[in-house]
Amino acid sequence: MSKIQALGLDVGSTTVKMVGLDAEGEMAWHFLEQAEPLLENQIARFLERARNVTGPLDGIPLVATGYGRGLVNQATRTVTEITCHARGIYRELGHGGTLVDIGGQDSKVIGISPQGKVIDFTMNDKCAAGTGRFLENTASRLKVSLDRMGPEALSVSDEVSISSTCTVFAESEVISLIAHGVSIASILRGLHRSLVKRMVSMILTVGLTPPLMLSGGVAQNPAIRQMLEEETGQKIILPHYPQLMGACGAALFALDA
């Protein structure tokens, strides 16, 4: 493993991610865990793990991002997740465009210039609809594991319409659909469509400049990818590690230091 020269820590609502970069800015190490309630303890554990890999962290700059960035007292500086995601994805893909990041607590659409700068952005952060939490909730209600949701949704062509855009009401709607004998797969397909339609309205707020890129944990869901392509008419470009783009961007800022 190359020597780690900079660290990025993305303290998200669902997962915490850490990335170590070598002197060339290539990812040399990464680590990811589900977020825990006592974030300070978890952050200390992440740093300990990094120390085990790199040796003493003295002199290795650390930039924190994500909604819990303010809790990382050890960070050299903090940068918002919007700026970090843009930086991370630009480094990996080498072009601008429109980045959709569907996270656990919020979703973002970021317009990135051909030079890799953020030129516009919007966030859905007022309700859970349009976020990973929407899928998590319904997965739990339908007793389908998160990683099976996408394939299940794509396994059928019948799609029910989920009229509610609120996660709580959508859950009630799902219960009603089950009671009416609608198949789980058709319900899942409808739920994915509902989430994607919300994302598309956010994309239109910023303006869709191709290519369309996807990051965040939800990017691993094939139904989201396919439906986003269907709704926008654009091919989706995925980075190698969609969940790590924020931490990567943070580490790149650390490397600048």
Footprint of other proteins on this chain (CB under 8 A)? 67, 79-83, 106, 117-123, 125-126, 207
The tokens describing 200, both together, are: 């598309």
Of 153 and 206, the one with the shorter C-beta distance to other proteins is 206
Is beta strand 212-215 parallel, antiparallel or unpaired with respect to 97-102?
Answer: parallel
Of 53 and 123, the one with the shorter C-beta distance to other proteins is 123
Using CA atoms, how far residue 80 sits from 29, 43, 64, 68, 252, in Å, is 22, 17, 8, 10, 13
Q: Least distance in Å: CB of 11 to other proteins?
A: 12
- Using only the alpha carbons of the chain, give its radius of gyration: 19
Of 80 and 194, the one with the shorter C-beta distance to other proteins is 80
Q: Least distance in Å: CB of 55 to other proteins?
A: 32
Concatenated DSSP letters of 24-69: TS-EEEEEEEE--S-HHHHHHHHHHHHHHHHS--TT--EEEESTTG
Q: Least distance in Å: CB of 121 to other proteins?
A: 6
Q: Least distance in Å: CB of 145 to other proteins?
A: 29
Of 106 and 171, the one with the shorter C-beta distance to other proteins is 106
